[in-house]
Amino acid sequence: MKGLKKIALVTAIAAAPFAAQADMKALDDTAMGNVTGQSGVTIELETQVEVGKFTYTDEGSFSVSGIKLGGSSVATGDTGNELLDELKIDIDINEAGDAVIHVGSMSTQDLSAIGQGVDEPAPIDWGITANSMELSGTGGSTTLLSGLKGHGNLSKLDINVRNGNQTRHEQTALNDNGYLELDVGFNVVDMQFDADFLGVGVSGMSILGANSDAIKQQYMGAGMTEAEAEGMLATTSFAKAELDVYKGDGVGSSTEKDVLRIDVSNVAMDINIDDVVVGGTIANDIGSRSIGSVGITNLQINDTKLAVYGH
């Protein structure tokens, strides 16, 4: 009898999950989020990247040497943290099956001087340097750019992998391939480089949001010094762009199929260059061969379509 009781007990335990299964229901993403306490994944990141040389080779080669990417101190030379840091990546899968990725900052900034809060999201500062960009082949080599140095801020980077059959800007069918959707907000506070093969140097190049100079004048009119106004613009004024990337057809009368398509819309920015040197380099001739400054205000780019494929 004792043996029978043990068998009965083991049978009851083994059968319990099957009996309970009759009342079990599949949990959707929201319900799973309630169970686990999370509905997505967050990655916090700090990094610095150095690349000795990047080379693309066809019959000849294009190469970029001495690349360094990190925080703004990489380019400014300030004694401080050279890391690309305070960066947070949120990854979610929504109910439509889209991958939704947001890149933002963990830091905040005080914007009470312009009528906003004291704990507003701060942008992510970045810096980049590259020694040279060259073309080379059997006929020799040509230096395209040298002494590239720049820094700025990233305010927004949203990356969405959509399941949809139509992009937001291109309403033709995509054969259910889905597409990549990019929204970016950024600025370049300062950049310089020499275009060696042209004998042209560029110094003090900045890219900010549209109408940034008018906003700067408003800040100064409200009592800020010029330096304070420029500092505020550096962390609040951003160029913006929307890109859709997908597999599609060629543009215009092209008969190409299944090419890489890149559609660009809603680009808005101001571009300013303090000094353009002609017939020399930034390091040696900015005082004697500068032809002056260049400014482009409220540059808008819309409905731009690119089709990329090998030949």
Least confident of 52-56, 63-67, 136-140, 295-299: 136-140
User: Is the model's pLDDT at 180 over the cut of 80?
Assistant: yes
pLDDT of residue 172: 55
DSSP 114: G
Q: What is the mean pLDDT of residues 19-27?
A: 48
Q: Say what the pLDDT of residue 81 is.
A: 81
**Per-residue confidence (pLDDT) for residue 97, from 0 to 100:** 86
SS (HEC) of 53-64 = EEEEECCCEEEE
Q: Which of 14-23, 98-107, 212-221 has the lowest mean pLDDT?
A: 14-23
The two three-digit tokens of residue 194, written as one number: 């020499």
pLDDT tens profile 72-129: 999 998 877 899 999 999 999 988 888 999 999 999 999 999 999 999 999 999 999 9
Stretch 160-179: mean pLDDT: 69
Quickly state the pLDDT bin for 175 (edges 50, 70, 90).
low
Residue with the bigger pLDDT between 165 and 227: it is 227
Q: b/e per residue, 223-262, with b = 16+ CB within 10 A?
A: ebeeeebbebbbbbbbbbbbbbbbebbbeeeeeeeebebb
pLDDT recorded at residue 182: 96
In contact, 149 and 192? CB cutoff 8 Å: yes
What is the C-alpha R_g of the chain? Answer: 27
pLDDT computed for residue 15 by the predictor: 47
Mean per-residue pLDDT over the chain, rounded? 88
Q: Which of the two residues, 131 and 281, has the higher pLDDT score?
A: 131
pLDDT at res. 89: 97
Residue 10 pLDDT level (bands cut at 50, 70, 90): very low
Percentage of residues in the chain with pLDDT exceeding 90?
A: 74
**What is the residue extent of each domain of the chain?**
1-39, 40-308
pLDDT given for residue 285 in this prediction: 87
Of 229, 153, 242, 217, give the one whose Cα is nearest residue 191.
153
167 has a pLDDT exceeding 90: no
Tokens of 109: 């900034």
Mean pLDDT of 175-204: 93
What confidence score (pLDDT) does residue 30 get?
53
pLDDT of residue 270: 99
pLDDT, position 111: 97
CA-to-CA separations, 290 to 147, 196, 266, 271, 282, in angstroms, rounded:
17, 15, 33, 18, 9
Higher-pLDDT residue of 162, 5: 162
More confident residue, 35 or 196: 196
| Whether the Cβ atoms of residue 132 and residue 67 lie closer than 8 Å to each other | no
Q: Tell me, what's the pLDDT at 80?
A: 72
- Per residue in 236-283, pLDDT (tens digit) is 999 999 999 998 899 999 999 999 999 999 999 999 999 999 999 998
CA distance 265 to 160: 16
Q: Which tokens go with 98?
A: 């889209």
